Structure 1
């Protein structure tokens, strides 16, 4: 992958420590999985300093890149490596649905092409470069999800990824705590277009209220749209004959965005159908668990925003059987926190969900029938409520760790 000379040419202020190797094929930031001959780049996190693990890396036979800013070095090497490849690269961002859309795109493209995608939550300033560094000559296309919390973060990722096709799923309320307004969120998401040229493609949700502002921020002359309500290039009719394995209107949007990308890359209709029907969500995203007593648990605990919470509740209401909603706090909503939780609580009542449990401090404003600040008493109450055949939705922001509730009721007591 890299020669020592290449590494030092890219990272000018660095120096290499350890055994000498003619080539380095793997770059790592984690000494737990490091192997002899790997390059270890020490980066700083909120609870650790990679510099403290240099002795362990050397003891395991790794080469260490001694540099002041390990994260920047990782990103610079990733950008350098990405520029070696002339393959099509798809970038995906948005407030809601970006992981599902990324996975749907990758599932379709992998029917015909060797496809690289970022796994799970490798979508930030650390995960994206680590993903790009996995590119090999065997890959024919890459699908890279890009996440952010503030302005400038997508721009940083886009400069590394340089997507030929940039997808924005939608603009929602997630990250209001940091960005204060949806207009700023749209501005931050539009940074994905920053490194594109007129020859590249932009794929945008025509139904999104920020569609026009996103469109104005594109550099591409090739803008494709998807939607249900407004006139768009890709609409529900393009899903005719395809059985999506995940329910909900929100997943129709995700699938239409994926189809748009597939059409740009001239993927066959049969591959689009096969890819979408074989699609499976990532961990803790609409993971349906079927118990022997007919209870269906919907584990959607990876994250939550008002937009995704609304979509999940509407699907729950559509299911047959008695319904239980177990909802937790939604984070990063800033000044809209109280109102957003109240709005979700009102929706639960409008949808006639049979039982409503909320967990956390913020979710108290949902006005649930049963509210608990911690998970343990909520689990106890949930176990008392469950009857054979129930449909149970469990959803909250990542920091709530409601997958613990899922595990507590996964099996019959």
Structure 2
């Protein structure tokens, strides 16, 4: 994009403050952490319940950003940059996108629905790309912020747009319609997602249809409710030339009527009738969701008047869409960011930002294929890619493909190959070691082979950690805080079993104030991993004090013995004002100073310049249990009394904090200066009403190792604890109690999920394996198995085992590989 800043003053109806309206903008940013921000960036300072980007304007100016859209100008930056002052910066971002969209007269496909939007978008891009230069939403950028950022990426070479729009409640689609303005509308499957934001299914459908106000054709699956909603919609927003283009398995009045469907060996053949002709289309999937998504694509191709031979030849090549960026452990202490299924300019920018936020090692390598459908000439495209690589401080580039190879001179420290096979033949000479590697390539380059070679080899059981879910849960609890209340997040016990360093990096990216660990070695590991946030050690042993000082960790002090031991070492090292955290025991009776030791604590600290009381804290015993809320109030009152006395006697004003996850929700008046978020970050609440607002973070997965059928009377496992009373099909899963699966979960107490169906665990859980009854499931060796996640949940497992979710999560062995994704 290239927009004169002067033009935007009227677009936003903004108040102008600055010196240069003639500057041109070629990049729009809402992320102050992005390394892609520069002199021609327009930074839009979004402000919401979770964050206020105005706080980061000063550091952006230091990095060279000079143009801002703001709701107010912070005092410390007045006169230092160009500012467009508006009432609402989110609305300004949307107005900018709508203005920019109107500069291009190209056909645009707009997708909405509950499920399948991103899949259909990616498949349509694949099916239509031989004939069009397509701009599409990167990943699943379909929100009130994601849609405008997607549309702003259009350029003059694009001749077709494909954008998805997602909403969670009423009155949101009206904003997105003004931005996308689709000429072709596709309504994908309507399911239960975001049901809580609507009164009923009818209201949800009608809200989604608002995207299609100016669409000349609407593609949808015909059913009674959608037909009625469309009738009402067309009456309210009539277009003489509009076509309702429907499909159905059951209604022969549909434009495309599916006569029959047959599946064999994961390939489905549908027979459909269209314009009085009958066709047989082969689809390379067997699951119902993929079949329905393919049919939505089919209707778009029919609308574009493709003949059947072309449709069949392209549909046969459809592939599962990988919609996430994954962080994996690599060989020789490398970490891999796997984005090996797409290569376009917009998603490269996203991947590079993700690389920066998740890098474990300072050295950064990018393995990049030719980039397709950028809308730029090759010269312009690879100049822009080169600038991105430079801005993101990438140490070396490995380019694969004939086009990128021809622009080798644009990339410092680069090696180029004509194809993936050539690179693999020489992979040994690169000595990948202690670096973070982004692997990003178009599907045709088969970069999954590179990932396989560079990935650390472990067994087939993995714990998948959804970093987007962690961000969602973090923002949910942050939204409950009063302005200026700080947040400490607990990453002890290996991030509650989910992975400490990777989650700490994400939290650092989100500018959390403190991290909390239990023991010094956990904090040392994070510091060695590059974490710069202050880290509090909650249970420091006196033998760890020298290491705590060496690694600039901050100890919790909970006894006079511990305080004197730390002071002794601090004096020996000639420390001054070293931060410590004073723990008060207000009723938990685990650790902390009690009322009768406060005077001696004050006497020890008074006049002492070796250490500084950084915070005073306590811990609530029953903040999750309404029957003991009176006890919590007594704890809070005692904390107020003891901490106030300490502050008054020492004439200090430290941070105070006592609320844990449940306390944040149940005792908002006791937030003090900081709260400590623990299990809630990982998607678990003790309140069933609150639980529905949290997202599942960890999904423990494995595979079926073997399937066998046993006759009636045969047994399974140690001790013959399961005896088959009929012919039974048994699947063996390579995970056991050494991986953290409780033996009590066996013997038909617990279950796993295979192909969305429950399979009860039969017999005893073994050290490395468990067996399940799959007599009712059509499954085979190699099929995926969910041990826990959405079903069963860790809450469900904990209830059955008479324990708590913490124990389920922290029990998962570190021999189980963690895979992080967005």
- SS state of the match for residue 106, structure 1? helix
**Equivalent of 1:277 in 278, 298, 317:** 317
Matched, 1:60 2:63: yes
2:490 — aligned with what?
Answer: none
Matched, 1:115 2:525: no
Matched, 1:133 2:152: yes
The Cα offsets for residues 31-87 of structure 1, whole Å up to 9 and x where unpaired, read as: 323122111111114422121122233233322233231111111110011011110
**Equivalent of 1:261 in 300, 303, 310:** 300
2:640 — aligned with what?
Answer: none
Instruction: Decide which moves more: 94-103 or 272-281.
Output: 272-281
Alignment of 1:342-353 (within 5 A): 347-348=757-758, 351-352=776-777
2:38 — aligned with what?
Answer: 35
2:203 — aligned with what?
Answer: 184
2:226 — aligned with what?
Answer: 211
Alignment of 1:165-180 (within 5 A): 165-180=184-199
- Structure 1 pair 345–230 and aligned structure 2 pair: CA distance change class (3 A): same
1:94 — aligned with what?
Answer: 113
Query: What TM-score do you get using the length of structure 2 for normalisation?
Result: 0.38
2:27 — aligned with what?
Answer: 26
Give the Cα separation in 1 of the matches to 2:758 and 2:132. Answer: 43
1:373 — aligned with what?
Answer: 805
**Equivalent of 1:358 in 779, 788, 806:** 788
CA shift for structure 1 position 320: 7.9
**Equivalent of 1:196 in 207, 210, 214:** 214
Give the Cα separation in 1 of the matches to 2:799 and 2:757. Answer: 11
- Structure 1 pair 299–97 and aligned structure 2 pair: CA distance change class (3 A): farther
Instruction: Decide which moves more: 208-217 or 78-87.
Output: 208-217
For the 8 Å contact 1:79–1:160, the answer to whether it is kept is yes
For the 8 Å contact 2:283–2:291, the answer to whether it is kept is no
1:389 — aligned with what?
Answer: none
Give the Cα separation in 2 of the matches to 1:379 and 1:352. Answer: 27
Matched, 1:51 2:63: no
Instruction: Decide which moves more: 260-269 or 372-381.
Output: 372-381
- SS state of the match for residue 317, structure 2? helix
Give the Cα separation in 1 of the matches to 2:112 and 2:64. Answer: 38
For the 8 Å contact 1:169–1:254, the answer to whether it is kept is yes
For the 8 Å contact 1:118–1:131, the answer to whether it is kept is yes
Instruction: Decide which moves more: 73-82 or 253-262.
Output: 253-262
- Structure 1 pair 358–265 and aligned structure 2 pair: CA distance change class (3 A): same
Give the Cα separation in 2 of the matches to 1:263 and 1:171. Answer: 22
Structure 1: runs of 5+ lacking an equivalent: 306-315, 327-343, 384-403, 409-413
Matched residue count: 355
2:11 — aligned with what?
Answer: 10
The Cα offsets for residues 299-345 of structure 1, whole Å up to 9 and x where unpaired, read as: 89789x9xxxxxxxxxx99x989487x9xxxxxxxxxxxxxxxxx99
Matched, 1:228 2:249: yes
1:237 — aligned with what?
Answer: 271
Give the Cα separation in 1 of the matches to 2:175 and 2:43. Answer: 22
Give the Cα separation in 2 of the matches to 1:373 and 1:279. Answer: 37
CA shift for structure 1 position 366: 9.4
- SS state of the match for residue 758, structure 2? helix
For the 8 Å contact 2:142–2:164, the answer to whether it is kept is yes
- Structure 1 pair 108–296 and aligned structure 2 pair: CA distance change class (3 A): farther
Give the Cα separation in 1 of the matches to 2:758 and 2:159. Answer: 45
- Structure 1 pair 99–361 and aligned structure 2 pair: CA distance change class (3 A): closer
Instruction: Decide which moves more: 368-377 or 130-139.
Output: 368-377
The Cα offsets for residues 144-179 of structure 1, whole Å up to 9 and x where unpaired, read as: 100011011122111221111111112211112221
CA RMSD in angstroms comes to 4.3
Name the structure with the higher strand share: 2
Give the Cα separation in 1 of the matches to 2:815 and 2:198. Answer: 36
- Structure 1 pair 153–202 and aligned structure 2 pair: CA distance change class (3 A): same
For the 8 Å contact 1:167–1:203, the answer to whether it is kept is yes
- Structure 1 pair 356–20 and aligned structure 2 pair: CA distance change class (3 A): closer
Give the Cα separation in 1 of the matches to 2:27 and 2:138. Answer: 17
The Cα offsets for residues 108-129 of structure 1, whole Å up to 9 and x where unpaired, read as: 1212111111112310110100
Task: Identify the structure with bigger relative contact order (alpha carbons < 8 Å, sequence gap 6+).
Answer: 1
- SS state of the match for residue 255, structure 1? helix
For the 8 Å contact 1:108–1:276, the answer to whether it is kept is no
Instruction: Decide which moves more: 130-139 or 294-303.
Output: 294-303
1:164 — aligned with what?
Answer: 183
Give the Cα separation in 1 of the matches to 2:171 and 2:54. Answer: 27
Give the Cα separation in 2 of the matches to 1:406 and 1:188. Answer: 36
Give the Cα separation in 1 of the matches to 2:123 and 2:10. Answer: 38
- Structure 1 pair 143–34 and aligned structure 2 pair: CA distance change class (3 A): same
- SS state of the match for residue 229, structure 1? coil
- SS state of the match for residue 154, structure 2? coil
CA shift for structure 1 position 16: 5.4
For the 8 Å contact 1:167–1:204, the answer to whether it is kept is yes
